[in-house]
């Protein structure tokens, strides 16, 4: 289940919390953009970068103990050199990019996700069961539209799958559809500091563990029909 679906189902967990840690108070429009197209029995799910680690976890889980050729990069401000096997390394402005180009099992990928939950996994590989994942091997940035009247393009991540339930996790307004385009506005209205952190001197710890409280506005156009949903959340 992706983090947007979890918020609308009111199933907030640490993964959802991690998605909002970087936000301050304010309005953040055109985030978590999704485009899902059905062709025959296959779904092509294209998104902005927010869903990358969730896609990697999903496809790695389906790969399991089998191995696949994995290409891409692990991106972080952390020094991962002693904790992973990598084939190249780049660094720019404090951002480290560890290149991956080797055979890996799904289990190995899942273990890395658990070990480094704050690392961005920009990996491309197949599940061997009809799922093809492609993620751009670069650090994610806030997607910028070509002009102010257009939303950013959902072209950072792409998953091709024949599993209907995965597509319905992203498009939960309608079960049978041909084309869905969805964008979200994050309206962060307050930062809630837990009582146990009231006297914490390390601002980074406070920022990381505080809750973002507000609303998510979901704007969708599905087979030409526009809908709008809104949910309050604290994560």
- pLDDT tens digits, residue range 35-67? 999 999 999 999 999 999 999 999 999 999 999
Q: CA neighbours within 13 Å on the CB side: how many for 84?
A: 30
Stated pTM of the model: 0.92
Strand order in the sheet with 225-234: 88-92, 95-105, 67-76, 120-126, 132-135, 157-161, 42-47, 26-39, 179-192, 211-222, 225-234
Residue closest to 116 by CA, chosen among 58, 60, 76: 76
Element (H, E) at 52: helix 52-63
- Give, to the nearest 10 degrees, the angle between helix 106-115 and helix 52-63: 140
- Residue 154, helix vs strand vs coil: coil
CA–CA distance, 29 with 163 (Å, rounded to integer): 30
- pLDDT tens for the chain, 235 residues: list them: 999 999 999 999 999 999 999 999 999 999 999 999 999 999 999 999 999 999 999 999 999 999 999 999 999 998 988 888 899 999 988 899 999 999 999 999 999 999 999 999 999 999 999 999 999 999 987 544 445 566 789 999 999 999 999 999 999 999 899 999 999 999 999 999 988 988 888 888 998 899 999 999 999 999 999 999 999 999 9
CA–CA distance, 139 with 122 (Å, rounded to integer): 8
Residue 143 has what pLDDT? 45
Residue closest to 4 by CA, chosen among 222, 223, 184: 184
CA–CA distance, 21 with 26 (Å, rounded to integer): 13
Residue 148 has what pLDDT? 56
């Amino acid at each position: 289940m992706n983090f947007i679906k979890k918020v609308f189902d009111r199933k907030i967990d640490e993964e959802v919390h991690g998605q909002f840690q970087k936000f301050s108070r304010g309005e953040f429009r055109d985030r978590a953009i999704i485009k899902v197209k059905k062709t025959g029995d296959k779904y092509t799910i294209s998104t902005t970068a927010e869903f990358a680690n969730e896609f990697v976890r999903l496809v790695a889980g389906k790969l399991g103990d089998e191995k696949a050729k994995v290409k891409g990069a692990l991106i972080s401000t952390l020094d991962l050199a002693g904790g992973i096997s990598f084939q190249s390394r780049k660094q720019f402005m404090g951002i480290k990019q560890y290149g991956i180009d080797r055979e890996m099992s799904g289990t190995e990928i899942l273990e890395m996700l658990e070990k480094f939950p704050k690392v961005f996994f920009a990996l491309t590989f197949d599940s061997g069961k009809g799922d093809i994942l492609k993620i751009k091997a670069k650090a994610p940035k806030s997607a910028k539209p070509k002009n102010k009247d257009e939303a950013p393009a959902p072209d950072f991540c792409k998953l091709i799958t024949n599993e209907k339930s995965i597509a319905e996790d992203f498009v939960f307004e309608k079960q049978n559809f041909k084309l869905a385009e969805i964008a979200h506005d994050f309206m962060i209205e307050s930062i809630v500091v837990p009582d146990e952190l009231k006297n914490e001197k390390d601002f980074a710890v406070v920022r990381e563990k505080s809750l973002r409280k507000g609303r998510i506005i979901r704007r969708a156009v599905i087979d030409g029909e526009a809908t709008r949903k809104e949910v309050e959340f604290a994560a």
